[in-house]
Structure 1
Amino acid sequence: MAETNLMRGTKVLTVATLVSKILGFIYVVPFSALVGQTGLGLYSYGYTPYTILLSLATLGFPLAVSKFVSKYQSLGDYDTGYRLFKSGLVVMSITGLIAFLLLFFMAPVITPWILPDEAAGVNSYEDIIFTIRMVSVALLIVPIMGMIRGYFQGCHSMMPTAVSQVIEQIVRIAFILAAAFLIMNVYDGNIGLAVGFATFGAFVGGLAGLGVLLYYLFKNRKNMLGMARTKTAEKPLPLRAMYKELISYAIPLSIVGLAIPFFQLIDTMTINGALSRIGMGEVSENYIGVLTQSAHKIVLIPMALATALSVTLVPTITNAYTANDPNRLQQLITQTFQLILFISIPAAVGLFALSDPIFAALFGLEDLAIGGQTLQWYGPITLFFSLFSVTAAILQGINRQMLAITALVAGLGLKLLLNTFLMLAIGPNGAILATYIGFTAAISITVWGIGKYTGFSFALILKRLGWMLAFAVIMAISVMVIETGLSLTFPLTTRFNSYILSGLGASAGAIVYAFLAYRTRLAEIVLGPRFKRPD
C-alpha cells in the first residue's frame, strides 16, 4: 500500500511539477528576448531575497503540516490535524504580512549588498529596489497557499496541489510576458520597469493558485469535517503541544528547503565583487543572469521528479516509520534512489554534452560564449540537487531533521569559503565548482545518515548505479559523435541549426539510454513490469 500511495502521489505531482517546471523554463526564452540577460540578472536580484523571506515566513510549515497530518491520520486521529490546519492559516497570514513588511522596507538596505558599486553595474539601485518591492507583495498570500497544500498532501490528496501549481504558473507567466511586452514595446518603458512588473506576477499567479485551492477546500469541506469528528484520542491534543511538535519538524524543513536559494544567494552577493577584482566586472551581471536564471531554469526541469518525490516522501515515509514497518521503509528508500538516479544521470550527462546547441536554441547566439560554457559546467548539478532533495526528505521522514540541517550547513560553509577564492583562481566557473563541492559534502552526510539510522544497505543501489553510469557514458559518446557529424552540415552559426543539433542529439541520446536500459531489464526493475522485455 505504501508503494502504491507513493507512486500514485508521485505520478500526479511529477506530471504537475514537470509541467510547471517546463512552463517556468519556456517563458524565460521570450522574456530574455524582451529584457536580455541583464534583465534576467535584475529579476534574480528580486527573486533570491524573496525566496528566502518566503521560506522564513512559512517556517517549513506546509511540508511539516503534511508530515504531522499524515502521522495522526495513520493513528486514526483526524481531528488533531484539522485543528492544526485551521490555526495554521491564521499563523501563515500573520507571518506572511511580517515578511512582506520586512522585505518591502529592507529593499534599500539589501540592494548595496547585491551590487556593492552602483556605477559598476548596468542596473541602478532604483531598479533593484523597485524589483524587490514588487515581488514582496506575493508574501501576503503564498504562505497561506502553502499551508492549504500541506494539509491536502498530509491527507494523501495530491490533486489540489498539482492543479493549483499548474494554474498558478500559467497565470504568473502570462502576466510576466504581457507586462514585459507592453512596457518594452508598446509604452517604450525601460528594463527596470518591465522586470519590476514581471516580478509582480508572483502575486497575480498566487491569487490564481489560491483560488483553485479554495475551490477544493469548499468541495471537500463536508468530508473533511466528517473525518475531523472521528476522534480516537481520549483527550484532544492542546494547540501548544501541536505547535511544539510541528515546530520541531518545521524549522529543519524550512532551513533544508532553502538549500538552493542559499547557494544562489552566496553567488548573488559575491560574483559582482569577485569578477570586478579580476577585471571581468563588465560581464558579471550577464553571468548572474545566465547562472541564476537561464542555465538554472534548464537544470530544474530534470529535477521535477526529485521535487515531487520530496513532497510525497515525507508524509509517506513518516507513515511507514510511525507504523514501525522496516520492510516498507527499505522498499520506499530503494525505489526512491533508483528513480532519481535513473532519470537524473542521463539528464546531467545530456546537458553537459549538448550545452552549446541547447543554450543557442533557447536563448540565441548572442550570449553563447558565456551561456554555453556555463551550462556545460552547471548542467550536471541537476543530479546533485536531486540527490540532496530526496536524501534530506528521507531524513526528515525518519525524524532526523537536525542531520539534514548539519549537512546543509556544512555544504554552505564550503560554498561560502571557496566561492570568491575559486572565482579569483579560475574565473566565473569557480562559483559553479564551489557549488559542486558544497553539495557533495552535504549529500555525503545525508547518505551516511540514512545508512546509519535506517540500516539501509546501499549495495544494490551501487550495483545499479554502475549500470546507469555505464549507459550514460555510452549515451554521451553517441551524442558527441552524432553532434560532431551533424555540425559538418549544420554548423552552430544559426539558431535553426541549433534546433537541429540539440533536437537530434537529445533524441539520439534518449534512444540509446532507453534501449540499453530495456535490453538489460534495468527499465523493468526501476519503472515496473510495463517495461518488461519479452523473453
Structure 2
Amino acid sequence: MVQQWNMKTFMKGASILTISAIIVKLLGAVYRVPFQNLVGDKGFYIYQQVYPFIGIFIVWTSYGFAVAVSKLLAASTSHGEAKAMMRVAFMYLLVLSLMFFIILMEFAPFFAQSMGDPELVTLLRAGAYIVLLMPVLAVLKGSFQSEGRMVPVAVSGVGEQSFRVAVILVGTWIAVQSGATLYAAGEVAMWGAVVGEAAGVVILALYFRNTFKGPLEKVDTWRVVKELTIVSLSVSASSLILLLFQLVDSFTVYNILRSTGFTGDTAMEKKGVYDRGQPLVQMGILIASTLALAIVPLIAHHATKKEGRGATPFIRLTFRTAFLFGWAASTGLALVLPYVNEMLFETRDGSIALIIFSFQIFWLSLLLPMTAILQGAGKVKIPTLLLFGGLIVKVIANQLLVPLWDVTGAAIAGNCGFIAITVGLVLYFKKVWKIGLAPKRFYGWILLATTCMIAAVGPWMLVADGFLFNNLPSRIAATLIALTSVLLGAATFLFVVLKSRIMGEKEWYLLPFGKRLATVQLRLTRNRR
C-alpha cells in the first residue's frame, strides 16, 4: 500500500504548499509590471492575448492533474497497483499532451485569425511546447503529494516560476534593446514559460525515487482515465476561471473594438490598458487563494469528526475572512487606483475601467475558498456547473457591453460573470450547510470600516496631490500618494475591524500570519475585557 501519513504530516505539508503558493502567485502577478513597462500597452496586449492558452495548461497540469494522480495513488491498495496507475496516468496524459500540441501547432493560424491578429501565430506555436511537459510534471507531482512529500512540490513550484520570470524579463529586455518587434518580444516571453515548466520537471526529477517496486497489477484503465479527467477538471475549475475569463476577452474585446470603429493600434493599446487589471486582481486575491489552501485542510479534517462542532466554525471563519479581506482589497484599490495605475504602468489611462475591474477581487475572494470547501466535502458537480455558467454570462455580457463602453464594458461584464457564480455558490452553500455564515453585526462593522477608510484616505489624497507632492515628477508623486494612501487606508480599516472584535483572537491565530493581528487586537480591546 502507498505510504500512509498522519494529520500532523498533512498539516505540515499544507503549510509548506501554502507558503510556496504565496511566493508563486506573487511572482506571477508582480513580473507583469516590469514586463508592461518594457513593452508598453501594445506589447502587453500581445502577451495577454496568448497567455491564457498556456496558463490554462499550466494550471490544469501543475494543479488539477497532479491532485487527480495523488488521489488515485493514495487510494491504491498495493505498490503494484500504484505503479500500474502511474503508468496508465502517464500514457493517458502523454496522448492528451500530443493531441493538444498538434491542435495548437496546426490551428494556431485559425486561433490567431479568430482573435483578429494573424501575427500571434508564432507566439501560440512557441507556447504550445509547454503541453509536452504535462505528463512528467503531473505524474511526478501527484506521486510526491500522495506520499505527503510536499517539499519537492513546493521547491519545484517556486523554481519553475522563478526561472519563468527571469527568462521572460531578461529575454524581453534583450529583445527590446536589440530593436526586435513587440511580437518577437512576446514570443520570447512564451518561451520563458516553457523554460520555467521544464525547470520544474528537472527539479522534481532530481528528488524522485521510485518506491513503487515489484510487478504491475491489473487495473481498470477506463476507471483510472475517467477519474483523472473528472477530478482534474473539477479541482482546477475554480483556479482556471480567471484564465477562462481572460480567454474570452482575448477572442472578443479586440475584435469588438475593431468592429466599432477603432483602428488596429488603438484597439491593441486599449486592450493592453484593460489587461493592466490582471496583475492587480492576482495580487488582490492572494489572501483568498491562501485561505483556500490553508483553511480547507482544517475543514476536511474536522468534517470527519463525529464529536464537537465539526467543520462549522472553520467554514464561518473562512467566509468571514474572505469577505473581510476581499472587500478591503477591492474597495481600497478602487479608491487609490488612478495613482496606483500611474505608479505601476506610467500613465493613468483606463483608470475608470480598472476601478470597475478591481471589484472582481471581492467576488473571486468569496468564490475561490467556497469552491474549495465544497470540493473538499465532495460537492463537485454543482460548483463546476456554476463556474461555467458564469463564463457564459461573461461571453454574453462582453457582446452587449463592449460595443457600448469599450473596455469599461468588458470590466463590467467580468463582474457580472463573477457575481452570477458567487450568488449561485452562496445559495448552494446554504443548502449544503444550513448555517449562518456571518451575523448582521459583522456586515455593519465592515461598512463602518469602509466609510472610515474613505473618510481618511480621500482628503489625504486631495491634499497630497494638490499641495504636498505637486512639485515632484508626476510618477514619483503618484507613487508617494499611492503608497501613503494604502498604508493609511489599511491602518484605518484594520483599526475599526480589530476594535470591533468581529473576529476573535483565537480565530486570527488560525489564519496564516494572523498572530500579529491577534496581538494588536488584544492591546486595542484590553480595557473592554
Same-fold status (TM-score > 0.5): yes
- Give the residue type in structure 1 aligned to 2:49: Y
Aligned pair partner of 1:214 in 205, 208, 231? 205
Give 1:12-411 correspondences, 5 Å limit.
Answer: 12-52=16-56, 60-68=64-72, 72=75, 84-115=85-116, 125-126=118-119, 128-185=120-177, 187-218=178-209, 238-281=220-263, 282-292=265-275, 294-311=276-293, 327-365=309-347, 368-370=348-350, 372-411=351-390
Does the Cα contact within 8 Å between 1:131 and 1:195 map onto a contact in 2? yes
**Rounded Cα–Cα distance in structure 2 between residues aligned with 1:12 and 1:509:** 31
Deviation for aligned residue 1:48:
1.9
* Unaligned 5+ runs, structure 1: 119-124, 230-234
Are residues 1:482 and 2:457 paired? no
Change (3 A) 1:519 1:91: same
Cα offsets for 1:76-112 (capped at 9, x unmatched): 9887666534542343333222222211221001011
Q: Which position in structure 2 is the counterpart of 1:122?
A: none
Aligned pair partner of 2:500 in 507, 520, 525? 520
Does the Cα contact within 8 Å between 2:274 and 2:407 map onto a contact in 1? no
**Rounded Cα–Cα distance in structure 1 between residues aligned with 2:100 and 2:440:** 44
**Rounded Cα–Cα distance in structure 2 between residues aligned with 1:361 and 1:169:** 25
Are residues 1:472 and 2:450 paired? yes
Q: Which position in structure 2 is the counterpart of 1:498?
A: 478
**Rounded Cα–Cα distance in structure 2 between residues aligned with 1:250 and 1:497:** 47
Deviation for aligned residue 1:7:
6.7
Deviation for aligned residue 1:176:
1.0
Cα offsets for 1:3-42 (capped at 9, x unmatched): 9788755543343233223322332232222211111111
Does the Cα contact within 8 Å between 2:172 and 2:185 map onto a contact in 1? yes
**Rounded Cα–Cα distance in structure 1 between residues aligned with 2:256 and 2:434:** 43
Deviation for aligned residue 1:312:
5.7
- Give the residue type in structure 1 aligned to 2:268: E
Determine helix, strand or coil for the equivalent of 2:179. coil
Determine helix, strand or coil for the equivalent of 2:261. coil
**Rounded Cα–Cα distance in structure 2 between residues aligned with 1:88 and 1:69:** 10
* Unaligned 5+ runs, structure 2: none
**Rounded Cα–Cα distance in structure 1 between residues aligned with 2:299 and 2:342:** 42
Does the Cα contact within 8 Å between 1:41 and 1:289 map onto a contact in 2? yes
Give 1:436-447 correspondences, 5 Å limit.
Answer: 436-447=415-426
Change (3 A) 1:498 1:39: same
Does the Cα contact within 8 Å between 2:453 and 2:489 map onto a contact in 1? yes
- Give the residue type in structure 2 aligned to 1:276: R
**Rounded Cα–Cα distance in structure 2 between residues aligned with 1:444 and 1:51:** 26
**Rounded Cα–Cα distance in structure 1 between residues aligned with 2:340 and 2:231:** 40
Q: Which position in structure 2 is the counterpart of 1:121?
A: none
Does the Cα contact within 8 Å between 1:21 and 1:300 map onto a contact in 2? yes
**Rounded Cα–Cα distance in structure 2 between residues aligned with 1:11 and 1:339:** 18
Change (3 A) 1:320 1:463: same
- Give the residue type in structure 2 aligned to 1:41: Y
Cα offsets for 1:124-149 (capped at 9, x unmatched): x23x0011111111111145324433
CA RMSD between the two structures: 3.3
Identify the range of structure 1 (414-423 vs 514-523) with the bigger mean alpha-carbon deviation: 514-523
TM-score (norm 1): 0.84
**Rounded Cα–Cα distance in structure 1 between residues aligned with 2:313 and 2:149:** 22
Change (3 A) 1:476 1:169: farther
Cα offsets for 1:323-371 (capped at 9, x unmatched): 7789433233223223322322211112101101111111112xx222x
**Rounded Cα–Cα distance in structure 2 between residues aligned with 1:373 and 1:81:** 54
**Rounded Cα–Cα distance in structure 1 between residues aligned with 2:304 and 2:257:** 51
Determine helix, strand or coil for the equivalent of 1:328. coil
Change (3 A) 1:4 1:336: farther
Determine helix, strand or coil for the equivalent of 2:425. helix
**Rounded Cα–Cα distance in structure 2 between residues aligned with 1:113 and 1:459:** 44
**Rounded Cα–Cα distance in structure 1 between residues aligned with 2:202 and 2:491:** 41
**Rounded Cα–Cα distance in structure 2 between residues aligned with 1:322 and 1:143:** 33
**Rounded Cα–Cα distance in structure 2 between residues aligned with 1:99 and 1:323:** 43
Q: Which position in structure 1 is the counterpart of 2:435?
A: 457
Change (3 A) 1:163 1:208: same
**Rounded Cα–Cα distance in structure 2 between residues aligned with 1:325 and 1:105:** 58
**Rounded Cα–Cα distance in structure 2 between residues aligned with 1:479 and 1:147:** 50
Does the Cα contact within 8 Å between 1:394 and 1:450 map onto a contact in 2? no
- Give the residue type in structure 2 aligned to 1:390: P
Determine helix, strand or coil for the equivalent of 1:188. coil
Does the Cα contact within 8 Å between 2:11 and 2:297 map onto a contact in 1? no
**Rounded Cα–Cα distance in structure 1 between residues aligned with 2:299 and 2:98:** 33
**Rounded Cα–Cα distance in structure 1 between residues aligned with 2:286 and 2:82:** 28
**Rounded Cα–Cα distance in structure 2 between residues aligned with 1:204 and 1:165:** 13
Does the Cα contact within 8 Å between 1:65 and 1:150 map onto a contact in 2? yes
Change (3 A) 1:33 1:246: closer
Identify the range of structure 1 (437-446 vs 23-32) with the bigger mean alpha-carbon deviation: 23-32
Identify the range of structure 1 (322-331 vs 193-202) with the bigger mean alpha-carbon deviation: 322-331
Does the Cα contact within 8 Å between 1:172 and 1:204 map onto a contact in 2? yes
Change (3 A) 1:183 1:16: same
**Rounded Cα–Cα distance in structure 2 between residues aligned with 1:4 and 1:291:** 45
Aligned residue pairs total 507
- Give the residue type in structure 1 aligned to 2:327: I
